[in-house]
Amino acid sequence: MSFSTLNNALSGLQAATATMQVTASNVANARTDGYQTQRVELADRPGGVEARTPVDTGTARPALPPTQAVSVSRPPSDVDLAQEMVKLTANESFYLANVRALEAAHGMLGTLLDTEA
């Protein structure tokens, strides 16, 4: 048996954790004016899965001199709480599936070690 099963399960747990953190941030900032929904993309990689957050490609606003004050009206947050709860539920299943895979890999490794001992 190789350790790929353990690596796959661990990378899945890490990806699920990153997704959970982004979802928590979205929910926490749902009423923050100007907040844009963050998202996580899962990508296959050798030995598991990887969670990536897309980089904002928007252009930065030039800094104003310290003597100028500008009143900025920000649009309301674009977070859809119902959508975030669906993501939360799906991520919970993803997390639990990886925990079970990790437990199975741990059990197989224990059996292998007991057989060889």
- Say what the pLDDT of residue 39 is: 92
pLDDT score recorded for residue 61: 53
- Residue 117 in tokens: 């001992």
Number of domains in the chain: 1
Domain membership of residue 17 (yes or no) is: yes
pLDDT at 38: 94
In terms of Cβ atoms closer than 10 Å to its own Cβ (0-12, 13-18, 19+), residue 8 is middle
Residue 27 inside a domain? The answer is yes
Buried residues in 30-67 as b, exposed as e (16+ CB within 10 A): beeeebebeebeeeeeeebbebeeeeeeeeeeeeeeee
Structural domain of residue 43, as residue ranges? Answer: 4-55+78-116
Where the chain has pLDDT below 70, the residues are: 1-2, 55-72, 117
Reduce the DSSP state of residue 10 to 3 states and report it.
Answer: helix
- Does residue 91 lie in a domain region? yes
Query: Domain for residue 16, yes or no?
Result: yes
Note whether residue 68 is domain-resident.
no
In this prediction, residue 1 carries a pLDDT of 46
**Is there a domain that residue 94 lies in?**
yes
Residue-level pLDDT at 48: 86
- Whole-model pTM? 0.75
**35 half-sphere exposure, CB direction, 13 A CA radius:** 16
What is the C-alpha radius of gyration for the chain, rounded to an integer number of angstroms?
Answer: 21
What are residue 43's DSSP bridge partners? 50
d(CA 46, CA 32): 38
Evaluate whether residue 70 is within a structural domain: no
pLDDT number for residue 66 = 64
